[in-house]
Structure formats: C-alpha cells, structure tokens
Amino acid sequence: MKLLRYGAPGAEKPGLRHDDGTLRDLSGIVPDIAGAVLGEAGLAALRAVDPSGLPVVSGEPRIGACVGAVGKFICVGLNYADHARETGKAPPEEPILFMKATSAISGPFDDVEIPAGSAKTDWEVELGVVIGTRAKYVAEADALAHVAGYCLINDVSERAFQSERGGQWTKGKSHDTFGPIGPWLVTRDEIADPQDLALWLDVDGIRRQTGSTRTMIFGVATLVSYISRFMTLQPGDIIATGTPPGVGLGHKPPLFLRPGQTMRLGIDGLGIQNQRTIEARP
C-alpha cells in the first residue's frame, strides 16, 4: 500500500494512492496515518479495505508528510562511505546518531526555507524508515518486522549551523521545513529489498546526487536493531538512514542553496519530491 496524508498543514486527512493513480480518502476508516494504524493489525485492516470503494479525492490537494504524530525523528550520519570521504571524514565504526526536531517535518512539495543568516544550506536525499511496532533491544534478524514501511526524505541541512556553531548537529538540521517526508509511506511488503534502491537528487535540473542503498555502511536491519539498544522505538518514529555522495558540501568548490532554486529527488518505488527554496518567514 501507498499511504499518505493530504490537506492544509495541521489539518491533513489520511489517504491512499490507488493503483489507478487516484487519491482515495481513508478518513472514514482511520483517523490518521499514525500510531496503532502503523502496526501489523492496523495495516492488515487497511489491506482488507477495497480501495475502489473509497471516496476519490478531487482536484490537486496539498500532500503533507506521510506520517502523522511523529514522536522521534532520528538521523544517521555518514552512513555511505563515499559520502563520508567527500566530507573529509573517515567512515564510522558505529552508526552516528542525531535527532532532527519534529517541527522540521513538512510535505514533499512544500517550500523549503533558507534560514536567516544561512550561507550553507544543503540537500540530502535519504531513505526513511517508519517504525510500526515498539522495538526495544531487538535482534537484527527480527528488526525488519518492526518496520511499517519506507518513505523518501530530504534531510535539508545548514552546514555552518551544524559544524561551526558549537554543540551537536541538531541545530543545523532542525529549521522549519528541513524535513520533507513523502509523498507516501510504502508498506514493507511492497519493498522487496530496502538495500537495493536507487536514490537521486537534482538542483535546478542538474543531477547532484546519485546512489544506491546497496552502499550503506549500516543497513536498515542493523540500524533498527542498533538504535533500539539506546532508545525504545515507537510506532510512527522515523529513521533517516543517511545520504549518498553529491551533497553541496562535497563539491569543489562547495555549492549551497539560495532562495529561488528547485530541488527534485526520488527513490525507486517511493515516489518523487519537488521543493522550491524561499527566504525564511517569521
């Protein structure tokens, strides 16, 4: 299934992308794509619904983040060896974890703000993992059973805030709109192998990132198991699994975003995002 949320920010309704390409309303079936809906029983109940009998959503509504009520937005740094090298860092021996504020979450086609005082806003196409059932101290062999599905994420970053202002990476990752998610959550059963997905990102029509999840240092199962040793993962938590090479910071000389540009990105089977960059609003 391809599950999504549509409508005005803060008032999104649950929906489903039918195989015929139409958007179907799920608000009569579930309150949101969140919480228990993402568990095995919740997803099984949705699979039992005939999508052709659901109301068709007319027009072209805004598409919001594909998951609601996200409790934790966990990110993995330097998880592609070639990306680590382009930033001048050695590939990590253990996953590098940091948090992105949930207030950064936005829709896949919403504008991305360039923060006030920013000179180094950057792009990062990433595979997102959405947790479906509680995970604490899970074995790697059992880890994927706790995953509801996968989505596309742009882990937008302000590099000066991240690395030149002291403290943790979080301040460079958490500005409003720095977490476009979606357009849809693709349930785990539709992705044969999360370690065999192509990723790409264009800026103003120029290909800047090309990669594959095959080259992750730590795969999805490893990450879910590893993170569950340090914090309990809850339904709706999101893990951004790292980015392949080609970020602005890695170019010689570096390339960074400015207002008026366009980012377009995608992952096999998970859809496409498109964002315009604008100056930050109060």
CB-count exposure of residue 226 (10 Å: 0-12, 13-18, 19+) = middle
92-133: per-residue pLDDT in tens? 999 999 999 999 999 999 999 999 999 999 999 999 999 999
Domain annotation for the chain: domains and CATH numbers: 67-279 (3.90.850.10)
Give dist(CA 176, CA 166) in Å, integer. Answer: 20
DSSP for 153-215, written as a single string: EE--EEHHHHHSSSS-THHHH-STT-EEB-S-EEEGGG-S-TTS-EEEEEETTEEEEEEEGGG
Give dist(CA 118, CA 173) in Å, integer. Answer: 12
138-170: per-residue pLDDT in tens? 999 999 999 999 999 999 999 999 988 887 789
pLDDT of residue 276: 98
